[in-house]
């Protein structure tokens, strides 16, 4: 047996021994409930055993790596702590302080280590291992990391315990008491860092944080399913995982809405409109209110009823709670008139309903949007008449028939908080792809925060849609301000191969000229392939390329604009291709059909991008959407198109707004950015000097007194 084979056998023996003790611990945990003295204790122990078994019961290897210290001490690092029968530690948790050198050691700072070993396993069987020998190597990106990045995907995100890099680890263990902004380009590991940070915070703050005290918010259902197994694999199965459309009451959905209406509904001014509209539903009492009590009338003086109304209105409670308070005050007034408690009076109920009507959230919002008069009154001086017209719509005849748009959901959530109060708050909240959220969606997140502790994740260069953020301040100003804000950028891009990223990065000067591109750490298997075809051949070519990539064993994402969707589906079906559709929340077959928006946050071995010009045309910030689509791959990239595979001139750069060029004294930099971007997007570098010379000549030849365009 060779030296390496013998060492591999020794390591496998250690893994087998550790697994035996892990299974013993699982059996002991499962047996706890059986020995309980009474039923209540059994229930508690059963719940405890389920939680512990969830942490221990996966089929992954007992360890992901090993560290050897200069003093000869050796530690195995895994997802869970494992001890032998004498309580000696066999494997330490990746979250333990003793494991910190595993995540932070580098050639520049070995943290007292001589070796860092990482295992490649199938189940608990070691297939191979790789070593970083400190003092001998100078490459900070080890071979195991590169091998892990190249491993085939399967439709779900994997944990990164074995490959956490030092800069990522610093963010994972950052203090809890802050609003942490993790920003980074495609493939920098933002999402994985945020999820592992949740597990780290739970491990190190048991007195402050339980799993059900944490909320993770994603951009869409496909994304939440994609990341859904990461935290359970780390032993944290009870963390609440929601997509942004699940923040609010459950209502029938599917209403289509014009873009300008959806954008207006995302405006933070809508919160004030809803509050004013709800307050306006409270009535004004008569000068004297007469109630039938038994066989006689009693009179409640109008000023007394008004005072009860005013006091209840001023309470810092939800609308429904204040209504109950108002009813209690009226009951006291009636009792004073009768000299005894009145019991339940239909007349009193009628008075309360007239002055303070009972409202459900959907009924309130439907009635508001269907009434131009109510909208105008609630708009006050905060909305124009044209904006009120945009908001106004005919409601369904029956509330059960009302369907709601995606832009309505944050309004329903706001109304729910106003009427019923905030139903659930969390000690820590993670929000992914936060750069796309509207102010009203951010308010939905903010009201669920009990402490102000948040981790928000995104990339401004990938911001799309009506409320695409240009700065982090645009986002954080709508979130709790009780804790300090820390913005932490990620430098290295691990997932996207260098060839694919170089192709996509040509969009950055047009899509986001101020963005800093990540430093890509690895090469892919090939250069991107552009398949430029006739219109009648496009869909068939998409099917052929997808089949070829799937035939190579790749997990394929076909990123297709709406304009081309039907023809691609038809071609896939005609060629006998079975595919999953992300618009139904599916992901995981060999071929997956995904819209550009649904592709955010996802990754595939092979990506086929259909008709870049159509992707650009379908979104207000289409170049950013195309940038997202082109950077979803971990290996190969194919572009199938009739038009331009890299449309750089169809839109003005998103980072330049016309108002920024008005005052040249203050806005010279954006103006220069705009001119430079137009030249860069239109001409090859060999012509830049010639064009700049011509521009200089035109400027110096013009009469300064001539009006622009003369």
Per the annotation, does 245 bind a ligand? no
Q: Are 493 and 520 in contact, with CB atoms under 8 Å apart? A: yes
The closest of 211, 196, 206, 165 to 54, measured between CA atoms, is: 211
State the burial class of residue 204 (Cβ atoms within 10 Å of its Cβ: 0-12, 13-18, 19+): middle
Per the annotation, does 186 bind a ligand? yes
Per the annotation, does 536 bind a ligand? no
Q: Give the β-pairing of 454-458 and 179-183.
A: parallel
Q: Are 488 and 167 in contact, with CB atoms under 8 Å apart? A: no
Give me the half-sphere count of Cα atoms (radius 13 Å) on the Cβ side of residue 531.
Answer: 19
Query: Which are the contacts of 586, defined by CB distance < 8 A and separation ≥ 6?
Result: 222, 580, 592
The closest of 444, 476, 440 to 265, measured between CA atoms, is: 440
The closest of 499, 626, 648, 463 to 560, measured between CA atoms, is: 626
The closest of 30, 76, 37, 24 to 53, measured between CA atoms, is: 30
Quick one: residue 492, left, alpha or beta (phi over 0 = left, psi -120 to 50 = alpha)?
beta
Q: Are 78 and 94 in contact, with CB atoms under 8 Å apart? A: yes
Per the annotation, does 185 bind a ligand? yes
Per the annotation, does 184 bind a ligand? yes
CA distance to 311, 325, 332, 347, per residue, from 351 (Å) = 17, 14, 14, 6
Report the alpha-carbon distance of residue 274 to residue 375 in Å, rounded.
9
CA distance to 67, 97, 102, per residue, from 75 (Å) = 5, 12, 9
Per the annotation, does 155 bind a ligand? no
Report the alpha-carbon distance of residue 89 to residue 427 in Å, rounded.
32
β-partners of residue 122 are 125
CA angle 39, 40, 41 (to 5 degrees): 90
Binding-site residue ranges = 184-191
Binding-site residue ranges for ATP = 184-191
């Amino acid at each position: 047996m060779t030296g390496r084979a013998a060492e591999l056998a020794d390591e496998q023996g250690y893994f087998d021994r550790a697994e035996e003790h892990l299974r013993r611990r699982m059996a002991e945990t499962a047996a706890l409930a059986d020995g309980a003295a009474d039923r209540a204790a059994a229930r508690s122990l059963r719940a405890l055993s389920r939680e512990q078994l969830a942490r221990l019961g996966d089929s992954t290897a007992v360890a992901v790596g090993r560290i050897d210290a200069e003093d000869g001490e050796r530690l195995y690092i895994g997802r869970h702590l494992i001890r032998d029968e004498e309580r000696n530690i066999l494997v330490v948790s990746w979250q333990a302080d003793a494991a910190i050198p595993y995540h932070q050691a580098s050639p520049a700072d070995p943290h007292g280590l001589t070796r860092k070993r990482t295992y490649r396993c199938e189940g608990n069987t070691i297939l191979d291992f790789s070593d970083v020998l400190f003092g001998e190597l100078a490459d900070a990106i080890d071979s195991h990391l590169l091998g892990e990045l190249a491993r085939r995907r399967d439709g779900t995100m994997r944990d990164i315990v074995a490959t956490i890099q030092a800069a990522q680890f610093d963010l994972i263990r950052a203090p809890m008491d802050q609003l942490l902004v993790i920003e980074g380009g495609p493939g920098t590991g933002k999402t994985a860092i945020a999820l592992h940070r949740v597990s780290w915070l739970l491990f190190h703050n048991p007195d402050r944080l339980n799993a059900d005290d944490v909320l993770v918010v994603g951009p869409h259902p496909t994304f939440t399913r994609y990341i859904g197994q990461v935290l359970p694999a780390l032993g944290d199965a009870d963390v609440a995982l929601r997509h942004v459309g699940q923040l609010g009451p459950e209502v029938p959905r599917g209403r289509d809405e014009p873009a300008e209406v959806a954008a207006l509904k995302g405006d933070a001014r809508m919160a004030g409109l809803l509050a004013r509209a709800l307050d306006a539903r409270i009535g004004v009492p008569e000068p004297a209110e007469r109630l039938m009590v038994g066989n006689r009338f009693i009179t409640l003086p109008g000023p007394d009823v008004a005072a009860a109304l005013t006091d209840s209105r001023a309470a810092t409670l939800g609308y429904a709670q204040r209504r109950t308070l108002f009813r209690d005050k009226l009951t006291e007034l009636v009792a004073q008139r009768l000299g005894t408690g009145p019991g339940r009076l239909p007349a009193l109920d009628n008075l309360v309903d007239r002055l303070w009507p009972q409202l459900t959230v959907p009924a309130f919002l439907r009635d508001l949007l269907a009434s131009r008069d109510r909208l105008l009154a609630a708009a006050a001086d905060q909305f124009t008449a044209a904006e009120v017209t945009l908001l106004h719509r005919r409601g369904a005849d029956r509330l059960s028939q009302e369907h709601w748009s995606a832009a309505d959901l944050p309004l329903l959530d706001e109304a729910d908080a106003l009427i019923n109060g905030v139903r659930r708050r969390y000690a820590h909240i993670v929000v992914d792809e936060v750069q796309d959220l509207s102010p009203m969606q951010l308010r939905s997140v903010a009201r669920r925060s009990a402490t102000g502790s948040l981790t928000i994740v995104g990339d401004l260069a990938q911001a799309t849609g009506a409320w695409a953020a240009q700065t982090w301040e645009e986002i954080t100003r709508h979130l709790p301000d009780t804790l300090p804000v820390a913005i932490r950028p990620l430098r290295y891009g691990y997932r996207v191969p260098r060839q694919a990223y170089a192709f996509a990065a040509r969009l950055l000067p047009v899509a986001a000229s101020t963005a800093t591109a990540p430093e890509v750490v690895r090469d892919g298997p090939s250069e991107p392939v552009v398949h430029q075809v006739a219109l009648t051949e496009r869909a068939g070519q998409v099917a052929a390329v997808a089949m070829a990539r799937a035939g190579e064993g790749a997990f394929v994402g076909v990123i297709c604009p709406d304009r081309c969707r039907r023809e691609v589906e038809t071609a896939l079906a005609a060629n006998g291709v079975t595919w999953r559709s992300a618009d139904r929340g599916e992901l995981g077959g060999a071929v997956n059909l995904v819209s550009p928006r649904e592709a955010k946050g996802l990754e595939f071995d092979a990506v086929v991008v259909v008709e870049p010009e159509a992707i650009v045309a379908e979104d207000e910030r289409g170049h950013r959407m195309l940038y997202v689509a082109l950077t979803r791959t971990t290996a190969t990239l194919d572009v199938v198109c009739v038009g331009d595979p890299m449309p750089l001139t169809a839109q003005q750069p998103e980072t330049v707004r016309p108002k920024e060029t008005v005052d040249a004294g203050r806005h010279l930099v954006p103006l220069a950015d705009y001119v430079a971007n137009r030249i860069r997007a239109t001409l090859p570098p060999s012509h830049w000097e010639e064009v700049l010379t011509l521009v200089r000549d035109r400027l110096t030849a013009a009469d300064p007194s001539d009006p622009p365009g003369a």
